[in-house]
Amino acid sequence: MHLPASGSLKAKRQVVAGLLRRIRTRYGVAAAEVGERNRWQIAHLAVACVSQDGSHCDEIMAHVLSYIEKESRDAQITNVQTELLRI
């Protein structure tokens, strides 16, 4: 994510921490900021969903992405990568 309005690491972390907390609570997924933690206008987020049904995870992840796009008015989604692991 690109956060052009963020003027400091503190401002970035407030936005990102709140967003991650809401995602975890609303969707029951694991979510964290990964990589680029010291750059105040860039945030890399990771979200993980575990289920016996891959299509259920796809559905949850689509909802999470949609939620991030709606709730992050001050941020621009610059890249999305999805990986499905089957064991």
pTM (whole model) above 0.75: yes
Render pLDDT for 52-83 as a digit per residue (tens, 0 to 9).
988 999 999 999 999 999 988 778 899 999 88
Instruction: State the alpha helices, DSSP H only, in the chain.
Output: 9-27, 54-71
Confidence (pLDDT) at 37: 85
Render pLDDT for 11-60 as a digit per residue (tens, 0 to 9).
999 999 999 999 999 999 999 999 878 898 999 999 999 999 889 999 99
DSSP secondary structure string for all residues of 1-19: -B-TT--SHHHHHHHHHHH
As a whole number of Å, the CA-based R_g of the chain is: 13
